[in-house]
Structure 1
Amino acid sequence: MPQHDLISAPKAYARFAGFNYLIIFVLAIFANFFILSKLVVSGDPVATLANIRQDESLFRLGVACFFIVLLADIFIAWALYLLLKGVNPHISLLAALFRLTYTVAQIGVVLNLTKALELADASASVAAMDIWPHFYIGAHNTEFTLTLIFFGVHLALLGYLIMRSSFLPTIIGVLVTVAGAGYIIDGFSEALFGGGGPLAGLGIYIVVLPALLGEGVLCLWLLFVGVNSKKWDAAYE
């Protein structure tokens, strides 16, 4: 039976992943719903520009939160790969690669916000320029939804690994897989219909609720319960 040390114990992997998931939940919700939602006025580029200029430090805080979220995503990809490679090393690696692909794509998405900030800071006050910060924020929202296709595949693979494991509850794997399917459906809906189409207005049921349930339960389980170490050891024998 393997001897665990501080950095190889399965509970350490689980709690590290759970802790970073908690960071993502807190900072992503804060940045989206308490910063962007406060500053961005839908359909009004001039008001959006004025809000960014008035609360530039708050906008910068939101950008910083998104970059911390991306760092946490990388840490989670690493920890979950180590935690689940005993179930199937090839699929565990593939799941990690899909999450890392999503994370790299998200760097460009978040950079849209920095472009919006740079244009808002521009000294020229030309009416034609006023629309560009609002445009880049809109591009951030659209591109974010598209990159969730990669994240959804990651969750589907992760859910499969959890269901196949003996050291994590099968129901969590099912919930995570459903959440992944929701992300994939939402991403392709954006690609095919531009946010419209037959699924318009159903995002809370297709994405938000499944994600909060599946990823939320996974986060709390990893953070406060962890894994069955004996069964985890058996997967590596």
Structure 2
Amino acid sequence: MKNLSHTARLAGLGYLIIFFTGFFANFHILEGAWAKGDSTATIANILSSPTAFRLGVAAFTIMVAIDILLSLPLYLLSREVSKPWAKATALLRLINGGIFAIAMAQLFRISALIPGGAPALHNEAMACLQQFDRTWDIGLLFFGAHLLALGGLFSRSARIPQWIGWALQFAGAGYLLDSGAQLFHPEYETYQFLFESVVIFAGVAGELSLTLYLLAKGAKLRSGSTETSPFTYADPAS
């Protein structure tokens, strides 16, 4: 028998770190620095707070590292439903992490150009940010598929409330809708607020609910406890 309470706590903590670092990075880079369609303002924003920009890049780096590592505990928590599907689900998350890591190269490029001032950033800052955003959207298609699959597994699991599985599927559909629209809908900006609202609401409903549940259950059901734990099971043979 294996007790996965510690794994549940690690997964919940990992998700919590992702929430905080993602919010911080988005605030300092995508919202704080990038003025879409205005390269002069974007360069001015970056140069006025280069430390904030670099801290945002560091936060994104931590986020993607934790996101990749989180594939393992989520696999361990979902494999009792179906090992093959749990492996495929983990692979989708790893692919998203790999694509995001590739996107990060654009932000590192901007950081390297900051010492050269506006002349160095003039020709590349906007192109790098646009490429970062587009590459990230491609990765989020895989992330949306990951959440759909993970939600399907958790909705059939004895350890996770069924409604959390459904909420994760809702979140996955939201990511697929928003990222797909950004990549392929020519009038995305007209409906941007609607798409982003769906992602924010769905993400909170699904991923934050899972985070709080894992932290709460993992904290209550310590390894070695005599209480019957939903995170205790025999290693499945298949």
TM-score higher than 0.5 here? Answer: yes
* Separation (CA, whole Å) in 1 of partners of 2:126 and 2:57: 15
CA distance in structure 2 between the partners assigned to 1:72 and 1:231 by the alignment? 22
What's the C-alpha RMSD, in Å, of the aligned pairs?
A: 2.3
Q: 1:105 to 1:177 in 2, by over 3 A?
A: same
Is contact 1:152–1:180 with CA below 8 Å preserved after alignment?
yes
Q: Which of 216, 225, 228 does residue 224 from structure 1 map onto? A: 216
Q: Which amino acid aligns with 1:22?
A: L
Match of 2:65 among 71, 92, 106: 71
Alignment of structure 1 residues 32-181 onto 2, 5 Å: 32-122=26-116, 125=119, 130-181=122-173
Does structure 2 retain, via aligned residues, the 8 Å contact 1:36–1:62? no
Question: For structure 2, which runs of at least 5 residues remain unmatched after alignment?
Answer: 222-227
User: Residues 14 and 79 of structure 1 are in contact (CA less than 8 Å); yes or no, is this contact kept in structure 2?
Assistant: yes
Q: Is the 8 A contact 2:141 2:180 kept in 1?
A: yes
**TM-score normalised over the length of structure 1:** 0.87
Amino acid across the alignment from 1:218: L
Distance 2:206 2:230 in 1: 25
Q: Secondary structure at the match of 1:166?
A: coil
Partner of 2:9: 15
The counterpart of 1:204, out of the listed 192, 196, 202, is 196
Q: What whole-Å deviation, never above 9, does each CA across 1:194-224 have from its counterpart, x for those lacking one?
A: 5628854312332111011110000111111
Percent of pairs identical after alignment? 33
Helix, strand or coil at the partner of 2:124: helix
Instruction: State the shift of 1:79 in Å.
Output: 0.5
Letter of the aligned partner of 1:185 in structure 2? Answer: L
Paired positions, count: 229
Which position in structure 2 is the counterpart of 1:192? 184
**Is contact 2:8–2:77 with CA below 8 Å preserved after alignment?**
yes
Give the equivalent residue in structure 1 for 2:224. none
Shift of 1:47: 2.2
Letter matched to residue 119 of structure 1: L
SS of the equivalent of 2:193 reads coil
Gapped runs of 5+ residues in structure 1?
A: none
Measured in 2, the distance between the counterparts of 1:67 and 1:217 equals: 24
Cα distance, 1:66 vs structure 2: 0.6
